[in-house]
């Protein structure tokens, strides 16, 4: 069975990706800081799919040495890692200049530096194996700058989208390496990160529906995908060229 490593798997999109990928036949290595939730998810998945192997590993992705150590441990435990999903992230934020820079710093540290550490560890393994599938979970917010509490988050997702594209560009010149890179840009999907948002958000879909579109794009090894495709594939194109006042109204 193919082995998929998912970071930030204790809740939200990561947990649902684990459920859906297990149903598709993947063995799973799940990492997160909250190990109690990982253990509960492990029990749930193995009960639903007795043939699946699910292992859990405590991990804080802002600890570079731990990221590499856990990745190597997964490789040793399973023999190979076919897919590495860089999913762990934060959604904290505050308007720039309002004195809450610590929230933005925490988000940027986790979402950007943490993602780079994960990509580094994953690519070390994939280069040795000469194959693999690196998946970067970005966001539709990566397309343009966002105001207020979303500024740092959107900037972080733009950074990781560029990271994924840069690695993919390098792999185009390495015919001896069968390494695919996918950048997945979800639109508004209900998850633990946004569950406290009380106002009605346009185009929001439930977790299972949204993640199903993410998993489909990942399984197809899409180079870049805005999901769910309706309306985000079209909206992303509009957002790239529309004036900022129009983008604000759209989002």
Query: Taking 60 as the threshold, does the pLDDT of residue 193 lie above it?
Result: no
Residue 60 corresponds to which tokens in the numbers above? 């804080």
Torsion, Cα 22 23 26 31, to 10 degrees, reads -20
C-beta of residue 190 within 8 angstroms of C-beta of residue 173: no
Q: Verify whether residue 153 is a known catalytic residue.
A: yes
CA distances from 17 to 11, 42, 191 (A): 10, 13, 12
Residue ranges of domains in the chain, CATH in brackets: 3-250 (3.40.50.720)
Q: In this predicted structure, what is the pLDDT of residue 198?
A: 46
Q: In this predicted structure, what is the pLDDT of residue 197?
A: 46
Q: In this predicted structure, what is the pLDDT of residue 20?
A: 98
Q: Which of 57, 84, 102, 153 is catalytic?
A: 153
pTM summary value: 0.94
Q: In this predicted structure, what is the pLDDT of residue 195?
A: 53
Average pLDDT over residues 61-80: 98
**What digits encode the pLDDT tens for the residues 117-142?**
999 999 999 999 999 999 999 999 99
Query: Taking 50 as the threshold, does the pLDDT of residue 231 lie above it?
Result: yes
* Contacts for 126-131: CB closer than 8 Å, 24+ residues apart: 126/81, 126/84, 126/177, 126/179, 127/177, 127/179, 129/80, 129/81, 130/176, 130/177, 130/178, 130/179, 131/82, 131/177, 131/178, 131/179
């Amino acid at each position: 069975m193919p082995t998929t490593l998912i970071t930030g798997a204790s809740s939200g999109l990561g947990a649902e990706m684990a459920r859906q990928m297990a149903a598709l036949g993947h063995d799973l290595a799940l990492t997160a800081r909250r190990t109690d939730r990982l253990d509960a998810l492990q029990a749930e998945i193995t009960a639903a799919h007795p043939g699946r192997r699910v292992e859990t590993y405590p991990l804080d992705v802002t600890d570079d040495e731990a990221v590499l150590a856990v990745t190597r441990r997964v490789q040793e435990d399973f023999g190979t890692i076919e897919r590495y999903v860089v999913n762990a992230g934060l959604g904290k934020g505050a308007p720039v200049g309002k004195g809450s820079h610590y929230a933005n710093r925490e988000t940027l540290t986790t979402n950007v530096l943490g993602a780079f550490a994960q990509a580094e560890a994953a690519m070390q393994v994939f280069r040795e194996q000469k194959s693999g599938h690196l998946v970067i979970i970005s966001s539709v917010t990566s397309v343009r700058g966002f105001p207020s509490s979303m500024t740092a988050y959107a900037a972080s997702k733009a950074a990781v989208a560029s990271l994924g594209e840069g690695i993919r560009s390098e792999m185009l010149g390495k015919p001896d390496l069968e390494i695919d890179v996918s950048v997945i840009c979800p639109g508004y999907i209900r998850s633990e990160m946004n569950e406290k948002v009380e106002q009605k958000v346009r185009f929001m879909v439930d977790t299972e529906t949204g993640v199903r579109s993410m998993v489909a794009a990942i399984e197809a090894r899409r180079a870049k995908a805005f999901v769910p495709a309706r309306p985000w594939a079209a909206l992303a194109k509009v957002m790239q060229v529309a004036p900022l006042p129009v983008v604000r109204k759209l989002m």
